[in-house]
Amino acid sequence: MMKYILASASPRRKELLSQAGFAFETVPSQVNEIIRKKSPHAIVKDLSFQKAWDVYQKLTPVGKTVIGADTIVVYRGEILGKPAGEEEALDMLSLLAGRTHQVYTGVTLVFSHGGAPVIRSFYEKTDVTFYPIDRADLLAYADSKDPLDKAGAYGIQGPFAIHVKKIHGDYNNVVGLPIARLYQELKTFPD
């Protein structure tokens, strides 16, 4: 059975892989991520490649596939990354309240086949709509510190879930890893 290396320190990605029964180890990438692309789907694919390739080059693992992933939140063409503090989190959440935005996750898989690296990248996009949110709720969530390590300043799997009106697409993609698509991609790999 092939084993996997997750090139991420994300507790959410680790949890999704564990729940799906993957045998994996975690080796977070230390790469200084650089945005080199323009469109959201190209950005997340490239950032996930940077992470996966960084770990692959350091380890050159045999019989293991490196999984790199990156997630961004986009509203009207603007990328909303991880907020720098509570005020920026409040601004992001205020912008998204009562509106629909997109969550993109790029995934890159790097494995060795016949002594050479093979690289496959893909992305998923999910539309997320929030209910209108009153200022007191926004302030309380921003003060909780929960938004500070999350793209777009929220986690769909946590306390902020009460503000999600609907999603169109893969829920796990919003959490940070489209696990079903990942599994389908891995099934096509050579033995």
| The pLDDT of residue 2 | 60
Q: Which of 100, 131, 103 is nearest to 12 (CA)?
A: 103
Active site residue 191: no
Question: Which three-class secondary structure state does DSSP give residue 25?
Answer: strand
Tell me which fold the domain 3-186 belongs to.
Answer: Maf protein (3.90.950)
Give DSSP secondary structure letters for 49-78: HHHHHHHHHHH--SSEEEEEEEEEEEETTE
The pLDDT, as a whole number, for residue 115 is: 80
What pTM, to 2 d.p., does this model score?
A: 0.93
Q: pLDDT at position 60, please?
A: 78
From 46, 70, 146, 170, active-site residue: 70
Residue-range domain boundaries for the chain: 3-186
Q: Give me the residues of the chain with pLDDT under 70, please.
A: 1-2, 190-191
Q: Dump pLDDT digits (tens) for 18-62.
A: 999 999 999 999 998 888 888 999 999 999 999 999 999 998 778
